[in-house]
Structure 1
Amino acid sequence: MTAGIVSDQFVSSRTWAGFCAMGLGMFMAILDIQVVTTSLPEIRSALDIPPDQMSWVQTAYLIAEVISIPLTGWLTRMLTMRGLFTIAVAIFTTASVGCAASTGFASLTTWRVLQGFAGGTLIPLVFSAVFLLFPKNVEPVATTIAGVLAVLAPTLGPVVGGWITQTYSWHWLFLINVVPGLAAGLVGLFCLPRDHSNFGLARAFDWIALVSIALCLAALEIGLKEAPHRGWLSPSVFAVFALCVASGGLFISRTSRASEPIVDLSALLDRRLVVGCTLSFLTGIGLYGSVYLMPVFLSFVRGHGALRIGEIMLVTGVAQLVTAPLVIRAERRINAVVLTVIGFILFGLGLGLSAFQPRDADFDEMFWPQVVRGIAIMLCLLPPTRVALGHLPPERVPNASSLFNLMRNLGGAIGLALIDTVIWTRAPEHSRILLARLMRGDLDAARAIGIPETFLSGPLPSPDSPMVQAYVRPLLERAGLAAATNETWAMIASFVLLGPIILILSGLGRETASITKS
């Protein structure tokens, strides 16, 4: 047993300080994604970035992050948890300063890659620490802290990003990481347990496996990003996905024969971990999908700015904070599988409620769906973590945590690609249908679009007339986007509702009963 593992019921304040430092580092890494997203137009304008390259500022971060997550287990074995966390936070903080000092697209993208790679290791590190630093009776509290930070950061992101952009300059989107990063790194360095590094792993490092997994995950991210716009069967997208499959096959071939694989895929022989990873994938679809869909609707349909969008989305964060202590108590009394089933059903309900929101929906109409989702997210994140990782021996936790968290990110990436596909293919179709109804004099269509009924009192103008193009066309586009958004809410709700079915069929309820009681 390593020095970092607590074998009794006592947890020192030093350990809690180290864990909280890790949580702060993870929070800043996740928050960074959202605050930058809300302010991409300002960054593009300031650095004169071509519009078609603007999204790469964010994509570069996400690709680097998704590559580093599965490597976290191997890096932890080599550098120890304390060493990897300290190095990752130092790199993330330095890269944040580099982003703020960037003068063009190339330098900013380079620093974003470093940011993403360092930030990606922090998420699985924190969830590994839950099971490596704390005894069983304290694990629910630590899991809740990690879970709240992980899901609260995307919710607060629009508020923080909008406020910084309006009050200061885009540089502060990155500079806000400096003080927390320094504090987290120093506290982690002095408070986390000191274990022995194993640099011998580096001598046997499989560079071919590293390149293959990097190509696989990068190609997957790029393919998912481009598919909604270029078409899923377009030659370029097909080639990218083919590269993903080929490099993924090479990676599996290499790691299955390696004595010290950089990602131990044999962990997936554990049925509970596989079920947990599947649930994590579905959680990623629902979590990242909802965080993405609300700003799309509120920005393009309702016309709200980043700060107002963030204020509306705070409801979810408040619900999460209120629910967290209740989930801790529930985990000590109720089987983790039962809590997870309840969570996924509630999550699916909360997503499904948004599928019926009207075109003019705002804070009031979005309040209760957000409350339901905020409650459900905690149940979809915390109990499944225990189901997936709580039974594993300490030496297997870092690698398993990497796989568990990778699946949530992949679920989010695939979910966002499907969301974009539905929105940008269905929205024009809904607009065409509404226009056809409008030209037939359909009053219900006029109300759905949001134009005065007096528009239909006289001769109907041509769809190509300047009046239609200037006045009616934007209303049609917003109404079409609202209808497509509702269909997308229904789609991600159906994915999430697969969770209870998978859990019930898995038969894991009886296996986790003893863990829940302890």
Structure 2
Amino acid sequence: MTQKLLAFASMCVGMFIALLDIQIVSASLRDIGGGLSAGADETVWVQTSYLIAEIVVIPLSGWLSRVFSTRWLFSASAVGFTLASLLCGLAWDINSMIAFRALQGFLGGSMIPMVFTAAFIFFDGKQRVIAASTIGALASLAPTLGPALGGWITEHASWHWLFFVNLVPGPLVAILTFRLVNIDKADLSLLRGADYLGMVLLALFLGCLQYTLEEGPRWDWFGDRTILTTAWIAGLSGIGFVLRTLTYAQPLVDLRALRDRNFALGSLFSFVTGVGLFATIYLTPLFLGRVRGYSALQIGEAVLSTGMFQILTVPLYAWLARRFDLRWILMVGMALFAISMWEFAPITHDWGARELLFPQALRGMAQQLAVPPVVTLTLGGLAPARLKLASGLFNLMRNLGGAIGIAACATILNDRTNLHFQRLAEHLNSTNESLALWMTGAAARLGTTADEAVLRPLWQATFREAQTQAYSDAFLVIMAAFILTVLMVPLMRKVAPPSAPSADSH
């Protein structure tokens, strides 16, 4: 048992650092761009390249682990992830950074689904519930802590250490998993009948979809020729991949698992929690940076409360999971997430860490009460033989939810800011007595009556208020998605886990 716990713990550390690195750069992109002499449009690809590579490899990891075995694939991925992290820290320009981040995301992404599979093979009964709870907590905690940790590191050291911090845990994870994880055997014969066409279609679908979602809000979506082209490629290759998977003898992803009601609903809930998790992590630092003008460290400190309250909720979840049906815990978690979004909605331009504390506390608690039960209810009822391919699809849905959620929020911010600005500007005319008094006071403060000097701060204040209202709109849209999931939770069946073979028997 001690060996299994240590093996599981080492795999969890590998998953944690892979997920942490998605968001660890989010509060420090301005510093990275400055260090590499890159503009904002280029710097955003430090995060985008990681996400694209990760989202492509996640559904492939189940097949790869069957070919090379969990031990070899996880250990090799940990070694490669560590080396890629070193290269990111040593990057000499933005192009090298983007290439190394893509490599880092590809190698890190392959570790994530294998932890889910290992948990259900290592443990059964109540131990399985605890293991699933641990994985779920880490899966939502890592990206939540990313901006806070990244901001602190950048402020006290430099942005290079955002990547160098992986040089200690990476090798340890590789060594421990290679020595302790022995739950399956490599089967190189699978290379002969592999669906290589399916791999190409999957890579084209997910890569182009991620690019379209990331770049669409900035380039007017289908008004841009490149975005239109990648959208068509994503759509056609996606249809081709589904048809290929349903007809091929040895598919890469187990789409037939969606026939299972719990797996289908659980994948949907994983998608929605991905929207809530990643979109709110995107929105909050963006608001604090753009509207409040916070530094990387200030952003990190302001969003840290979410992770703290999630950690504090772990004992509560463990107590509830032993006494209540996981479906009702999931319903409470989803409802709490919706309430937290409602509490974000009254946001004003002067909100800081104090005002964000309560809604972020609710979100932290919601993540702990929502994500672990989804893992158990979705994967816990599947036969061990189907876990590898199904867990890749399940994890893909969470990351897809995050990608689509971020893209939707970016579009909302762009479109609604323009709309709110126009509505506010309509009232700023010569008949507005408050505006006349404000301009008189501004002229006195500035010591000039020049229109440009007086109107510029007015434009800035109006744009700031329009931006703030757009953030409120985005939070309300996320709230609506969670309300729908709350209504659908009763459709899930209570899980009766199949007996799993002991890891020691392999």
Q: TM-score range by the shorter chain?
A: over 0.9
Q: Which residue of 2 aligns with 1:92?
A: 81
Q: CA deviation at 1:470?
A: 3.3
Q: Determine helix, strand or coil for the equivalent of 2:38.
A: coil
State the identity %: 37
The one-character-per-residue Cα deviations of 1:148-185 (angstroms, maximum 9, x if unpaired) are 22222222222221222222222211111111101111
Q: Determine helix, strand or coil for the equivalent of 2:453.
A: helix
Once residues 81 and 424 of structure 1 are traced to their aligned partners in structure 2, the CA distance between those partners, rounded to angstroms, is: 43
Once residues 201 and 117 of structure 2 are traced to their aligned partners in structure 1, the CA distance between those partners, rounded to angstroms, is: 25
Q: Which residue of 2 aligns with 1:180?
A: 169
Match of 2:136 among 143, 147, 154: 147
Q: Which residue of 2 aligns with 1:502?
A: 488
Q: 1:305 aligned to 2:295?
A: yes
Q: Which residue of 2 aligns with 1:493?
A: 479
Cα 1:407–1:442, aligned 2, differ >3 Å: closer, same or farther? farther
Q: Which residue of 1 aligns with 2:408?
A: 418
Query: Is there any run of 5+ residues in structure 1 with no aligned partner, and where?
Result: 1-11
Q: Which residue of 2 aligns with 1:72?
A: 61
Q: CA deviation at 1:457?
A: 10
Once residues 126 and 443 of structure 1 are traced to their aligned partners in structure 2, the CA distance between those partners, rounded to angstroms, is: 63
Q: Determine helix, strand or coil for the equivalent of 2:360.
A: helix
Aligned residues of 2:275 and 2:402 also touching (Cα < 8 A): yes
Q: Which residue of 2 aligns with 1:401?
A: 391
Q: Which residue of 2 aligns with 1:123?
A: 112
Q: Which residue of 2 aligns with 1:231?
A: 220
Once residues 472 and 99 of structure 2 are traced to their aligned partners in structure 1, the CA distance between those partners, rounded to angstroms, is: 37
Q: 1:105 aligned to 2:91?
A: no
Aligned residues of 2:327 and 2:373 also touching (Cα < 8 A): yes
Aligned residues of 1:124 and 1:405 also touching (Cα < 8 A): yes
Q: CA deviation at 1:18?
A: 1.0
Q: Determine helix, strand or coil for the equivalent of 1:282.
A: helix
Once residues 466 and 370 of structure 2 are traced to their aligned partners in structure 1, the CA distance between those partners, rounded to angstroms, is: 32
Q: 1:242 aligned to 2:232?
A: yes
Q: What amino acid is aligned across from residue 512 of structure 1 in structure 2?
A: K
Once residues 434 and 326 of structure 2 are traced to their aligned partners in structure 1, the CA distance between those partners, rounded to angstroms, is: 48
Q: What amino acid is aligned across from residue 304 of structure 1 in structure 2?
A: Y
Q: What amino acid is aligned across from residue 488 of structure 2 in structure 1?
A: I
Q: CA deviation at 1:481?
A: 0.7
Q: How does 1:432-511 map to 2 (within 5 A)?
A: 432-439=422-429, 454=441, 465-504=451-490, 506=491, 508=492, 511=493
Once residues 406 and 446 of structure 1 are traced to their aligned partners in structure 2, the CA distance between those partners, rounded to angstroms, is: 55
Match of 1:285 among 252, 255, 275: 275
Q: CA deviation at 1:274?
A: 0.4
The one-character-per-residue Cα deviations of 1:419-449 (angstroms, maximum 9, x if unpaired) are 01110111132223223324356578899xx
Q: CA deviation at 1:514?
A: 5.2
Q: Which residue of 2 aligns with 1:212?
A: 201
Q: Which residue of 2 aligns with 1:296?
A: 286
Q: What amino acid is aligned across from residue 499 of structure 1 in structure 2?
A: T
Q: CA deviation at 1:16?
A: 0.9
Q: 1:164 aligned to 2:153?
A: yes
Cα 1:440–1:348, aligned 2, differ >3 Å: closer, same or farther? farther
Q: CA deviation at 1:186?
A: 1.0
Q: CA deviation at 1:101?
A: 2.0
Q: CA deviation at 1:194?
A: 4.9
Once residues 439 and 42 of structure 2 are traced to their aligned partners in structure 1, the CA distance between those partners, rounded to angstroms, is: 40
Q: Which residue of 2 aligns with 1:30?
A: 19
> What TM-score do you get using the length of structure 1 for normalisation?
0.90
Match of 2:29 among 40, 43, 47: 40
Once residues 321 and 464 of structure 2 are traced to their aligned partners in structure 1, the CA distance between those partners, rounded to angstroms, is: 44
Match of 1:512 among 486, 494, 497: 494
Once residues 436 and 96 of structure 2 are traced to their aligned partners in structure 1, the CA distance between those partners, rounded to angstroms, is: 49
Query: Is there any run of 5+ residues in structure 2 with no aligned partner, and where?
Result: 499-506
Aligned residues of 2:339 and 2:479 also touching (Cα < 8 A): yes
The one-character-per-residue Cα deviations of 1:215-249 (angstroms, maximum 9, x if unpaired) are 00011011111221222332432322111111112
Is the deviation greater in 277-286 or in 150-159? 150-159
Is the deviation greater in 148-157 or in 399-408? 148-157
Q: What amino acid is aligned across from residue 225 of structure 1 in structure 2?
A: E
Once residues 307 and 35 of structure 2 are traced to their aligned partners in structure 1, the CA distance between those partners, rounded to angstroms, is: 31
Q: Determine helix, strand or coil for the equivalent of 2:409.
A: helix
The one-character-per-residue Cα deviations of 1:445-467 (angstroms, maximum 9, x if unpaired) are 899xxx79945999xx99x9222
Once residues 324 and 15 of structure 1 are traced to their aligned partners in structure 2, the CA distance between those partners, rounded to angstroms, is: 22
Once residues 73 and 359 of structure 2 are traced to their aligned partners in structure 1, the CA distance between those partners, rounded to angstroms, is: 39
Cα 1:298–1:52, aligned 2, differ >3 Å: closer, same or farther? closer
Cα 1:444–1:204, aligned 2, differ >3 Å: closer, same or farther? farther
Q: What amino acid is aligned across from residue 485 of structure 2 in structure 1?
A: G
Q: CA deviation at 1:362?
A: 1.8
Q: 1:375 aligned to 2:365?
A: yes
Aligned residues of 1:434 and 1:445 also touching (Cα < 8 A): no
Cα 1:239–1:513, aligned 2, differ >3 Å: closer, same or farther? closer
Aligned residues of 2:443 and 2:454 also touching (Cα < 8 A): no
Aligned residues of 2:154 and 2:296 also touching (Cα < 8 A): no
Q: Determine helix, strand or coil for the equivalent of 2:427.
A: helix
The one-character-per-residue Cα deviations of 1:302-323 (angstroms, maximum 9, x if unpaired) are 1111111111211111111111
Report how many aligned residue pairs link the two structures.
495
Once residues 203 and 258 of structure 2 are traced to their aligned partners in structure 1, the CA distance between those partners, rounded to angstroms, is: 20
Match of 1:196 among 175, 185, 205: 185
Q: What amino acid is aligned across from residue 397 of structure 1 in structure 2?
A: L
Q: Which residue of 2 aligns with 1:8?
A: none
Once residues 260 and 214 of structure 2 are traced to their aligned partners in structure 1, the CA distance between those partners, rounded to angstroms, is: 32
The one-character-per-residue Cα deviations of 1:351-376 (angstroms, maximum 9, x if unpaired) are 11101122212222211111111111
